[in-house]
Amino acid sequence: MSLRINDEAPNFTAPTTQGTINFHEWIGNGWAILFSHPKDFTPVCTTELGYMAKLEPEFKKRNCKIIGLSVDPVDNHAKWAKDIQETQGYAVNYPMIGDEDLAVAKLYNMLPASETGTSEGRTAATNATVRSVFIIGPDKKIKLTLTYPMSTGRNFDEILRVLDSMQLTARYKVATPVNWKDGDDVIIVPSVSDDDAKTMFPEGWKTVKPYLRVVKQPS
């Protein structure tokens, strides 16, 4: 069964570069990003994990933990992390899951449930679909899921932008328009009446259409 937005993120226990974790317990009361890559010691993934290492302080500011995953052994992750720091300039301080038995990849539908064997002998090509991003909320529900092709590096600035949007819209009855960035105007959700909006947004808003009311970002 495929995972959809608002499904509970499947829990699991797995070894990582920072010890064995229970995923839900590791998340705690904050947000989390689980992102996977097909294979250690590959070029695109090296740039991606380095960039996430650079962004980790920004995610921490937003009470969001990040964790990587591939079907490689944990020992390989630790060795590869040295290459990442050397070539990308940032140390990987977040945990990386070693999913040698493919259990988490199958649990999150990155590999078919019928897939057999272990990580031994597998290549980046056979792991091509293990290249997903999941944003998980404090309620342990999936808020976003994305899967990219191997040849295209992911835009993790966009993941940070989406997190900003989701955290804002979880606090206020607003939605964010196309290409929104933190600080831009937002949209009052249609379920809020004009009378209620006067209380929520006392400084007023611009009515473009009855269903499109633009307001300054609340804070």
Q: Does 3 fall in a domain?
A: no
Both 73 and 135 in a single domain?
Answer: yes
Both 51 and 147 in a single domain?
Answer: yes
Both 119 and 195 in a single domain?
Answer: no
Provide the 10 A C-beta neighbour count for residue 115: 13
Both 117 and 205 in a single domain?
Answer: no
Q: Does 103 fall in a domain?
A: yes
* Of the candidates 160, 114, 107, the residue with the CA atom closest to the CA atom of residue 130: 107
- Give dist(CA 135, CA 143) in Å, integer: 5
Model confidence at 69: pLDDT above 60: yes
Model confidence at 1: pLDDT above 70: no
- Give dist(CA 179, CA 167) in Å, integer: 16
* Of the candidates 211, 186, 212, the residue with the CA atom closest to the CA atom of residue 201: 186
Which one from 9, 45, 64, 188 is the annotated catalytic residue? Answer: 45
Both 19 and 62 in a single domain?
Answer: yes
CATH number of the domain to which 95 belongs:
3.40.30.10
Both 178 and 113 in a single domain?
Answer: no
Predicted confidence band at 35 (pLDDT cuts at 50, 70, 90)? Answer: very high
CATH number of the domain to which 177 belongs:
3.30.1020.10
Both 138 and 178 in a single domain?
Answer: no
Both 119 and 189 in a single domain?
Answer: no
Q: State the pLDDT at residue 150.
A: 85
**pLDDT tens digits, 123-178:** 777 776 788 999 999 999 999 999 998 889 999 999 999 999 999 999 999 999 99
CB contact at 8 A, 94 and 55:
no
64 is catalytic: no
- Give dist(CA 197, CA 204) in Å, integer: 8
Q: Does 158 fall in a domain?
A: no
> Residue 124: which domain range?
13-153
Both 148 and 190 in a single domain?
Answer: no
Helices (H), the chain: 23-27, 43-61, 74-88, 103-107, 156-171, 194-200
Q: What is the mean pLDDT of residues 10-24?
A: 98
